[in-house]
Amino acid sequence: MHSRLGLPFASLLTGSLAASVGVWGCLGQPDSSSGDTLVPPKGCAVEGGTPPATAPNGYYTNGATVCTADGTRHQFHGVDRPSLEWSTTGQDISPTDFMTMASWGANVVRIALNQDFWLSGAALNDPTYPATVDQAVAWAEAAGLDVILDLHWSDAGDLTVTSTQKQGKGYSSQQDMADVNSIEFWKEVASRYKNDGRVLFELYNEPHGITWDLWLNGGQSAGYTVAGMQQLYDAVRGTGANNVVIAGGLDWAYDLSGVGPGASYVHGDNVMYATHPYISSAPPSGWEGSFGHLVTTDFAPVVVTEFGDGRKGLCTGDYDQQLIAFANARGVSWTAWAWYPGVSVGDPQGCSFPSLILDWSGTPSVQGAAVEAALQAYPHANPPIAADAGPIDGEVDATLTLGTDGAAGADSASVDGASGSTLGFDEASADVLDAGFSE
């Protein structure tokens, strides 16, 4: 997520979320404001009768539909869990953390990762990081959640970076796009989880500042070699992994307008596309043209892997409700940003982050209440919260300290990694900004 200028947003029409839960055939096809011809969804019946290969207990895609291996339609609804992108151990990650998500009604959690913590040749590598991720995945799955592993931060092709302090080249943080080291990251991650189809791979968090050709095929940009979505996809499939792969669009993942037949798209099976609408730059009038068209033309499934209202002290949950209603009407999956208490003085609801929870007990923020209500309307199982089995080994009890303007204070907060190194982050890397936080 990244910062976008907060803009006034007048009276959103929210409607009833419970009434909007459904898919085409139940609610009828949505109107297409982009002028696309509405195409009836194929559903899970594959032409020729043989679906794409799936990872064990996993999913395949057919047109704009996601299906279980036995041909049952499936949608993902859940939350995003940050902290493993800036901390090698994560913050307050425990079995109870995931059980609380499940008690809200989530069936998936998106976990943000950092390739420099994972890769053995990186200066920031922590040898225990893959095991830490394994533990988080195991706890999530034990709570009944599928997992999206999201390559959130990278290094612009420079494994020698030693800091997460700022955004951009020279740091392990948000970059314009993936790099050659990201290819190795996905080879290793895909090899590790290829026998677990409940794990999905989001190839890169928020591409921006590049062309559609670079997005798909890679090349030279911003002083480093960009790895395109096709290269990252091929790296995953080259390991034999048939897990669902997710590709986010341009404009910090929001824009998927360049994806489609005769345009840019990832060639291969079991591909979803991710979008990140935030109130400051993604009004409802643009949703159909930016990402809804992929579903209304039955081209590919869409998952909104981040969304929210980042207006400091002003969020109401209305934007979240309207986005979810739009998604429900089209059978679009979603995960809400973010399961993290990013509250601060002057922003007690964590609007700037934006936060779904006010504390690690899972007390919902105003946006979290809207998301929880929507999750409760789905037919997802809500397992009881189990006793806390403790945090990930080596985790420190660290809390992001925010300044009065909603940004990290002048003395940046830091968390100690298991390796003993201090991994600091400030307003540029954590992106906790007055105008709104997005990763």
CA nearest 236: which of 208, 268, 212?
Answer: 268
pLDDT tens for residues 289-333?
999 999 999 999 999 999 999 999 999 999 999 999 999 999 999
Q: What was the pLDDT predicted at 18?
A: 36
Q: Which domains are assigned to the chain? A: 17-430 (3.20.20.80)
Q: Find tokens 């730059």 and name the residue.
A: 281
The per-residue pLDDT for range 371-398, each reduced to its tens digit, is 999 999 998 644 444 444 444 443 333 3
Q: Tell me if 341 sits within 8 A of 432, measured CB to CB.
A: no
Task: Give the per-residue pLDDT at 35.
Answer: 52
Q: C-alpha dihedral over 69, 82, 364, 291, to 10 degrees?
A: -60
Given this model, what pLDDT does residue 262 score?
A: 87
pLDDT at res. 418 = 32
**Helix/strand/coil for 78:** strand
Produce one character per residue of 393-402: b if its CB has 16 or more CB atoms within 10 Å, e if not. Answer: ebbeebebeb
Q: What is the dihedral of CA 12, 16, 22, 24, to 10 degrees?
A: -50
Could you tell me which residues come within 8 angstroms of residue 112 by beta carbon, excluding any fewer than 6 positions away? 80, 81, 82, 83, 84, 85, 150, 152, 153, 205, 439
Q: How far does Cα 207 stand from its chain's mean position?
A: 13
pLDDT in tens, 20-69: 334 333 333 444 444 556 788 899 999 888 999 999 999 999 999 999 99
Assess whether the previous peptide bond of 338 is cis (omega < 30° from 0). yes
The structure's pTM equals 0.83
Using DSSP's 3-state secondary structure scheme, residue 5 falls into coil
Cα(376)–Cα(374) distance, rounded to whole angstroms? Answer: 5
Q: 151 forms bridges with which residues in the sheet?
A: 113
Enclosing H/E stretch for 274: strand 271-275
Structure letter (DSSP) for residue 323: H
For residue 15, the model assigns a pLDDT of 35
Print the SS3 string covering 291-314.
HHHHHHCCCCCEEECCCECCCCCC
DSSP conformation letters of 150-184: EEEEB-TT-TT----SSSSTTSSB--SS-BHHHHH
What pLDDT was estimated at residue 2?
52
**Residue ranges of the chain whose pLDDT lies below 50:** 3-34, 381-439
- What pLDDT is attached to residue 48? 87
Helix (H) or strand (E) holding 371: helix 366-376
